A and B are shown apart, each in its own frame.
Chain A
């Protein structure tokens, strides 16, 4: 299967702890996106990369959040000093360039629960 993969699928952590999620995009895609989804809502954009360059960050991405894509392949999203409000599904998506950039393919997500 060559779809987008995310690890872990579920993470339970205590408030104040740091967590890191990984996303592996579809291999030929050079764009990678992170979204957050809370219950009853659609996904909300956090940030995106073209190759290793982080081109846009949402206002939702507070200083406690950092994303990297060091070699232009997989990406990590780290949340420092987690808060209960960080509990959500974190989704990763990837796409190609040009018109295909709009067709974003999502991974299965990482469900974060902060207790």
Chain B
């Protein structure tokens, strides 16, 4: 099936640091979304992107829809402890159905020991 390659798989953050993660695919997407999931809970929608090149912010989070429509990135500025969790990118394929979001495997954010 279709794959979204999300990197890094995991990272450690120290409070106040900026964080970057990205998602790439060999296929073209018409929508990119970013979700955060805490243990034992469902994913929470953070940002939705609809146009190539679009840059959207939600508080300390900024995400961009790549101009090739095959990638997206998420930045978190000045991280705080509650940013810990798993971040998923998800996309809607151009030639896919309207119901089927394809998810990456996630980037796990942990606090530096």
User: Which A residues fall within an 8 A CB radius of B?
Assistant: 4, 6, 31, 33, 40-45, 47-48, 55-56, 58, 91, 93, 99, 101-109, 111
> Interface readout for B33-44 with A: 1 if CB under 8 Å, 0 if not?
101000011111
Cα–Cα distance between A6 and B105 once the two chains are bound (Å): 23
Q: Which of B59-102 contact A (CB under 8 A)?
A: 88, 90, 92, 97-102
B residues contacting the other copy or chain, number (CB 8 A):
25
Q: Decide if A41 touches B45 in the complex (CB within 8 Å).
A: no
| Contact between chains at B43 and A102 (CB < 8 Å) | no
| A45 and B33 contact, CB distance less than 8 A | no
The answer to whether B90 touches A56, judged by C-beta atoms less than 8 angstroms apart, is no
Pairs of residues from A and B, 8 with the lowest C-beta to C-beta distance, nearest first = A42-B103, A48-B99, A106-B42, A102-B31, A45-B100, A109-B42, A106-B43, A108-B42
Number of A-B contacts (CB under 8 A): 69
Q: Cβ of B105 and Cβ of A41 under 8 Å apart?
A: yes
Minimum C-beta distance from A12 to chain B (A):
15
Task: Decide: B101 and A45 in contact? CB cutoff 8 A.
Answer: yes
Q: B33 to A103, Cβ gap below 8 A?
A: yes
In the bound complex, CA of A109 to CA of B40 (Å): 8
- Contact A103-B45, Cβ < 8 Å, known A31-B99, A40-B105, A42-B90: yes
Please tell me if B21 contacts chain A, counting CB pairs below 8 Å.
Answer: no
Q: How far is the CB of B74 from chain A (nearest CB, A)?
A: 14
Question: In this complex, what residue of B is CB-closest to A106?
Answer: B42
Q: Nearest chain B CB to A64's CB is how many angstroms away? A: 20
Which residue on chain A has the smallest CB distance to residue B32?
A: A102
* Cα–Cα, bound, A58→B48 (Å): 24
